[in-house]
């Protein structure tokens, strides 16, 4: 096991009616709150009304329009609004995009750096404004981690950065009842692949971390068909929401190596085509496994095959193939096409990703072997 430091201070407030009953006590009474929103779905599912009722009597200003794959151009406007109103607290109401953007907003308001410079530097080093969140989509884990991913329209780029953990996050599973099926599926795929990036590396690092990663994967496998069949199943929705948070809040990466090459490739696909993040991962992960599952990730893929898909028959290579097929089939069971051509993404996109990786001399993965050439093989296998 590798040495590590774990420190996740986010207060998670979880359950039915927690927005109405618990949010107020977490909000500052002596500061102006910049409340950030996405495109307006919270007006339909009742979340906006609950939040506004909670804010009664407090000083706040609303910023609307943070888009999926949030753009730095939008974030700059939120930063300007926050400064204009001397905001001292940021409350993000939405999914991972709104929360990711709000982390950057909270870091950029008190900073002298431009928001995109912060992203390019990889880190908010300034003291951020305190941030709270009300989560509406289980997927990114942003509600309980310190990371975010931001895009630039101007440069067609998408990069991650690290900032501060939210002070608190309020998660009411009932607000996810009305999510469109595609968004639920992309959230499940995102959660699944978050786990895989922290799990599918080498064996023998930590039995416990392996079991916990597998625990999320097994839960997702069981929950997905239940939620598809019965979208209003509270316990299944609650468990899915918990899985999404726990998949990327540092809990399953303790003392182990990580990969994240599937994410890096997926981010490029989104930056170039706009395809939803979780969906890009459902396409790329099987590709990564096809290229690395028989070699670098061989032992772990065999463990994954046995423990997640109960594949124990056949030669090692046959079991690996079966595990990759089961993974792809799982994503397809979520009604997510798993091939680039099915999404009308042509070779020019792959070519551009490979060109960018070569230019940046990218070396991803737990063994730094996922370079431009390896990425070419991964993407080629996704058609």
Choose, by CB under 8 A, the member of 153, 155, 208, 295 that binds a copy of itself.
Answer: 208
Q: Pick from 53, 123, 207, 355: which binds a copy of itself (CB under 8 A)?
A: 207
User: In terms of CB distance, is 114 or 127 closer to a copy of itself?
Assistant: 127
Q: Do residues 214 and 252 make contact, with C-beta atoms less than 8 angstroms apart?
A: no
CA-to-CA distance for 24 and 38, rounded, in angstroms?
Answer: 21
Among 72, 119, 186, 243, binds a copy of itself (CB under 8 A): 243
Q: Which residues, 6+ apart, have CB-to-CB distance to 227 below 8 Å?
A: 184, 233, 236, 237, 240
Question: Tokens in use for 299?
Answer: 């032992």
Q: Are 152 and 141 in contact (CB under 8 A)?
A: no
Handedness of CA 177, 180, 181, 184 (dihedral sign): negative
Listed ranges 103-111, 181-189, 241-249, 375-383: which one lies at the site for a copy of itself (CB under 8 A):
241-249
Sign (positive or negative) of CA dihedral 52, 56, 58, 59 = positive
Contact flag: residue 366 with a copy of itself (CB under 8 A):
no
Q: Which two tokens stand for residue 121?
A: 């530097």
d(CA 284, CA 339) in angstroms, rounded, equals: 8
Calpha distance 282→268 (Å, rounded): 14
**5 binds a copy of itself, rule: CB under 8 A:** yes
Tell me how far, at minimum, the Cβ of 73 lies from a copy of itself, in Å.
35
Cβ 127 to a copy of itself shortest distance, Å: 18
The rounded distance, in Å, linking the Cα atoms of 334 and 189 is: 8
Instruction: Give the residue from 181, 189, 184, 260 showing the smallest Cα distance to 221.
Output: 189
| Tokens matching residue 351 | 């070519």
Which of 89, 212 has the CB closer to a copy of itself?
212
Provide the minimum distance between the beta carbon of 12 and a copy of itself in the complex, in angstroms, as a whole number. Answer: 4
239 makes contact with a copy of itself (CB under 8 A): yes
Closer of 7 and 315 to a copy of itself (Cβ): 7
Does residue number 46 form part of the binding site for a copy of itself (CB under 8 A)? no
CB 234 within 8 A of CB 339: no
Torsion angle (degrees, nearest 10) of CA 75, 77, 78, 80? 130
Nearer to a copy of itself, 109 or 216 (CB): 216
Binding mask 167-206 for a copy of itself (x = CB under 8 A): ------x------------------------------xxx
DSSP codes of every residue in 237-285: HHHHHHHHHHTTSSTT-TT-----HHHHHHHHHHHHH---HHHHHHHHH
**Least distance (Å) from a copy of itself to the CB of residue 92?**
18
Residue 242 within binding range of a copy of itself, rule CB under 8 A:
yes
Q: Any contact of residue 54 with a copy of itself (CB under 8 A)?
A: no
Task: Please pick, from the candidates 40, 255, 274, 314, the single residue that binds a copy of itself as defined by CB under 8 A.
Answer: 255
- Rounded to whole angstroms, the maximal C-alpha distance in the chain is 67
Is there binding between residue 15 and a copy of itself (CB under 8 A)? yes
Nearer to a copy of itself (CB atom), residue 9 or residue 274: 9
Binder to a copy of itself among 20, 61, 81, 218 (CB under 8 A)?
218
Q: What is the nearest approach in angstroms of a copy of itself to the Cβ of residue 363?
A: 25
Q: Which residues bind a copy of itself (CB under 8 A)?
A: 1-18, 22, 173, 204-208, 211-212, 214-216, 218-219, 222-223, 234-235, 238-239, 242-243, 246, 251, 254-255
């Amino acid at each position: 096991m590798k040495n590590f430091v774990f420190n996740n201070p986010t207060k998670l407030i979880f359950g039915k009616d927690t927005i109405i009953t618990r949010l107020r006590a977490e909000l500052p009474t002596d500061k102006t709150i910049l409340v950030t929103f996405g495109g307006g779905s919270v007006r339909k599912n009742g979340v906006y009304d609950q939040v506004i009722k909670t804010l009664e009597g407090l000083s706040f200003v609303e910023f609307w329009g943070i888009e999926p794959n949030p753009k730095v151009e939008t974030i700059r406007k939120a930063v300007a609004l926050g400064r204009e109103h001397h905001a001292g607290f940021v409350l993000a109401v939405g999914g991972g995009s709104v929360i990711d953007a709000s982390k950057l907003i909270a870091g950029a308001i008190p900073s002298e750096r431009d928001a995109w410079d912060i992203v390019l530097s990889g880190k908010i080093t300034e003291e951020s404004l305190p941030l709270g969140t009300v989560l509406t989509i289980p997927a990114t884990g942003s509600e309980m981690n310190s990371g975010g991913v931001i895009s630039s329209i101007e440069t067609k780029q998408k990069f991650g950065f690290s900032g501060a953990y939210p002070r608190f996050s309020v998660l009411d599973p009932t607000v996810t009842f009305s999510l469109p099926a595609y968004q639920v599926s992309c959230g499940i795929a995102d959660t699944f692949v978050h786990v895989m990036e922290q799990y599918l590396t080498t064996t023998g690092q930590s039995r416990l971390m392996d079991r916990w990663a597998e625990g999320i994967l097994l839960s997702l496998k069981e929950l997905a068909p239940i939620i598809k069949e019965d979208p209003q199943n509270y316990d299944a929705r609650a468990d899915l929401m918990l899985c999404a948070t726990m998949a990327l809040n540092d809990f399953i990466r303790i003392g182990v190596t990580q990969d994240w090459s599937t994410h890096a490739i997926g981010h490029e696909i989104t930056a170039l085509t706009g395809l939803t993040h979780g969906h890009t991962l459902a396409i790329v992960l099987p590709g990564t496994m096809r290229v690395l599952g028989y070699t670098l990730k061989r032992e772990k893929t065999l463990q994954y095959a046995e423990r997640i898909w109960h594949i124990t028959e056949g030669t090692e290579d046959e079991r690996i193939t079966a595990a990759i097929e089961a993974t792809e089939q799982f994503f397809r069971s979520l009604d997510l096409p798993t091939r680039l051509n099915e999404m009308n993404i042509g070779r020019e996109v792959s070519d551009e990703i490979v060109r960018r990786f070569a230019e940046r001399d990218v070396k991803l993965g737990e063994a730094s072997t996922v370079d431009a050439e390896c990425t070419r093989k991964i993407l080629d296998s996704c058609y």
